[in-house]
Amino acid sequence: MTTSTAATQLPSSAADRRLITTSGWTWIAVLAGLFLYVHWSYVNRMIHIATKASGGLNPLELIIHMIKNPWNPDWSHTLVVPLISLYFISRNRDRMAATRPAVFLPGLIVFVFGLLSFNFWTYPGRNDMFQGYSMIITLFGLALFLLGPSMMRHLWFPILYLALFVKISDRIWDSLAWRLQGIAAQCATVLLHIFSLFLDFDVNKVGNKITIGFMQDGAYLERGLEVAQACSGLRMLMAFIALGVAMAYLTDRGWWQRLIMILMAVPIAVAVNVGRVTMLGLLNLVNEEMTKGDFHTFLGMLMLIPAAGLFWLLGWVLDRIVVTDPTQAQTVPPPLPPEETGAPPIDARLALDVVKGAAGGVLLSVLIGVNCYLIVMSFRPDIGLQLLQKIGLIAEDAGASMSSLTPRLLLGVGVIALIGAIVGYCWMLLRHRGAAQDGRRGLIPLGSRGGTMAMASTAGILLASIFGFGTVRDAYGLVLMKEPVKLQKKLYQLRRDFWPWAFAASDKDLGPEELEVLGTRDYISYHMRDQEMMDGDRPVGVRWHMAYYTGKPDTVPHVPDRCYIGGGASGAGKSTVTLNLEGKEYRRVEGQVTAYSVLDRHRVSIPDTTISATIFRYHDPNTPDRIHRVLYFFVANNKFLANPDLVRAQGFLPWDRFSYYCKVEIGLGLVDSDEVAAARASRFLSTMMPEIMACLPDWQAVNATVPTDGPSSAE
């Protein structure tokens, strides 16, 4: 097959043309600085996630942390994504030099929409993924507005590639990665079975856990891949996708070839992960230590090399399916002559144009913000009045007699004013557009006075956004990056008897890989038995696991649903149950629940006497016909929450300076029903909850050190 698509030939005049002038670099620096400042809350969060740094670090501490911990298999690629985007921009500089930039007024709508969306998803929307995508929309609109559709033909991919900088929602990510991990584990088992025919070893797979048995020095040994590896999923999946998308656009190809390479990113990621798991299994035959620690991490990084090789091979095959014809090469047109924009303005006129543009941008931004506020007032006047009271525009008791029609009337006036301002703003830019020699009536030359005003207006809009959102943030006391808070007592201090529950045993300490998956070193895994209650001829017992997290930039609790199935169990459903804390030590005074703690030797605060918890049912491989049950919930900033989604959505108020959450997991083993499981868990927690809360931060004491400026009503 032959096609006329070919490598682009660039005239030397285009290559020699200066793409950006000195004044252009000045505007780029100003707008880039303002853009980064507006979106710094999200960028800072992603840097912390990529480096696994805790919240509250200053820039110097963050740099030191990055040097000590340079690699996070989950999201470290996000730090490289902006550099790859800049590379693609520099790679297209010759084509961009042959394209005339121009102000495109409809791009202003995209730009403003992105800003509003980013601020909304920061608060009250509170969704990190949508924040990130809103930032990309804002950047796309900014480039479209200032540079025009012609230039966006070269910039759309580097800008949209930044979407890989955004962390995908944990719920979406976990669902995708877990299913792909199951495929990878199954395929790796098949490959290991093939190798076992030649190397004489046995392979057994239960769930996503693979066990290898072999003879060594006359003894039969069994070694398995760590549970952490089974639970982790395709940890570098997004890094492989980022690599595949970059390589798809690395050379000039047809759109369908690039689409194939992008679609093959996930299969290649699975294939590489199959190779990694197979290699780990074979290394177990040689030395079990080679599958752990730093070598295990290095092996994960090394997988990027075969992934790049597979992408290169795929591109090589696609390039030979369609053979290019070098005789029909397309050329980039020579640089366009400069547009006639009238006599160059004197410095005073240039300064006046900058002031006009910035003032127009500020006016537009203020009117848009006022209209957004009036929309809130129309539907939630309590929130609207609260904001005015907090910034001091009205008295604390004002607004009680305000008519419900007033915000709607003001909204109508505000919309009319905004439409008039937009029409006047566009007229101002078009009036100073100069003479466009190429006849592009809908565009304004970037080098004209109108172009200068447009650049100044974007700076004004960004400045107004910084001031406006900063005012709302300060008024409500919003804290966008939480700080860590220490435990009052170490969890291991719970390793003792608390009548009627006696300590029986402790699980073995987790290895480095398992700790990495768990995400914390503050954990316990104890077995406790009831000295008063019998189950047949044996005392009632529970497996008690707790894990404490604090100051995390993202909230990804590790739950037993995934881990138990990864270890070989099969799920049998889950539901929500209510647990009740009972006993004479619990007292409720003026809505405050307290109970006496043996560990702390005084009364401690308890969030409530009822706990909503998740109960997970599963079949153990050793007893496949019986149903086991494990129950878990979370204590997050002094709240009882039943599942990870509630921790993410309701665990922390936006004005909480500190954050923590603690998973409390109670393994109940074989019990007859959910009701029996809930009753036994309630009995256990009635004794242990005061001791648990004695270890967790005293939330009243934590808040007493920080003035609370947030709204009085709970979300």
What does the DSSP assignment read for 226-294? Answer: -HHHHHH-STTHHHHHHHHHHHHTSS---HHHHHHHHHTHHHHHHHHHHHHHHHHHHHHHH-GGGGSHH
Whether the pLDDT of residue 240 is over 50: the answer is yes
Whether the pLDDT of residue 675 is over 60: the answer is yes
pLDDT at 452: 87
pLDDT at 715: 39
DSSP three-state, residue 587: strand
Contact yes or no for 162/133 (Cβ under 8 A): no
DSSP 467-516: HHHHHHHHHHT--SSPBP---SS-GGGG-S-BTTEEEEEEPPPP-HHHHH
Most confident of 14-28, 35-49, 228-242: 35-49
Distance (Å, whole) CA 309 – CA 328: 30
Q: What's the rounded mean pLDDT across residues 9-28?
A: 62
Read off the pLDDT band of 403 (50, 70, 90): low
Which residues does 127 contact at the CB level (< 8 Å), separation at least 6? Answer: 121, 169
CA R_g for the chain? 31
pLDDT digits 0-9 by tens, 308-329? 888 888 888 887 776 555 444 4
Give the residue among 266, 247, 263, 301 at the shortest CA–CA distance from 184.
266
Q: How far is CA 583 from CA 21, 136, 602, 643, 684, in A?
A: 77, 55, 16, 26, 11
Which DSSP symbol is given to 78? G
**114 or 127: which leads in pLDDT:** 114
Token pair for 183:
């495929």
Which residue type does 439 have?
G
pLDDT at 4: 39
Which DSSP symbol is given to 9? B
Which residues does 181 contact at the CB level (< 8 Å), separation at least 6? Answer: 208, 230, 232, 233, 234, 273
Token pair for 424:
């006047």
pLDDT digits 0-9 by tens, 281-307? 888 787 776 666 666 666 666 777 888
Q: What's the rounded mean pLDDT across residues 341-352?
A: 63
pLDDT at 140: 96
pLDDT digits 0-9 by tens, 76-89? 788 889 999 999 99
DSSP three-state, residue 520: coil
Contact yes or no for 462/38 (Cβ under 8 A): yes
Read off the pLDDT band of 677 (50, 70, 90): very high
Distance (Å, whole) CA 215 – CA 221: 6
Give the residue among 116, 126, 103 at the shortest CA–CA distance from 45.
126
Report the share of the chain in percent with pLDDT over 70: 78
Q: What's the rounded mean pLDDT across residues 667-695?
A: 92
Read off the pLDDT band of 34 (50, 70, 90): very high
Read off the pLDDT band of 197 (50, 70, 90): confident
pLDDT digits 0-9 by tens, 511-562? 776 777 777 889 999 999 999 887 777 888 999 999 999 877 666 667 777 7
Give the residue among 691, 688, 692, 702 at the shortest CA–CA distance from 601.
691
Burial-class residue 51 by CB neighbours within 10 Å (0-12, 13-18, 19+). Answer: buried
pLDDT at 342: 45
Report the share of the chain in percent with pLDDT over 90: 23
Q: Name the least confident of 11-20, 40-49, 352-361, 442-451.
A: 11-20
Read off the pLDDT band of 71 (50, 70, 90): low
pLDDT digits 0-9 by tens, 138-182? 999 999 999 999 899 999 999 999 999 998 877 777 667 667 777
Whether the pLDDT of residue 7 is over 50: the answer is no
**424 or 407: which leads in pLDDT:** 424
Which residue type does 280 have?
L
Whether the pLDDT of residue 712 is over 60: the answer is no
Whether the pLDDT of residue 115 is over 70: the answer is yes
pLDDT at 159: 95
Per the prediction, the chain carries an average pLDDT of: 79
Read off the pLDDT band of 337 (50, 70, 90): low
Distance (Å, whole) CA 97 – CA 90: 11
pLDDT at 322: 64
Q: Which pairs with CB-CB distance under 8 Å and at least 24 residues apart come from 209-216?
A: 209/566, 209/567, 209/568, 210/185, 210/277, 210/281, 212/281, 212/284, 212/285, 214/285
pLDDT at 54: 66
pLDDT at 431: 82
pLDDT at 710: 46
Give the residue among 196, 204, 138 at the shortest CA–CA distance from 462.
138
Sheet of 592-597, strand order: 587-589, 592-597, 602-606
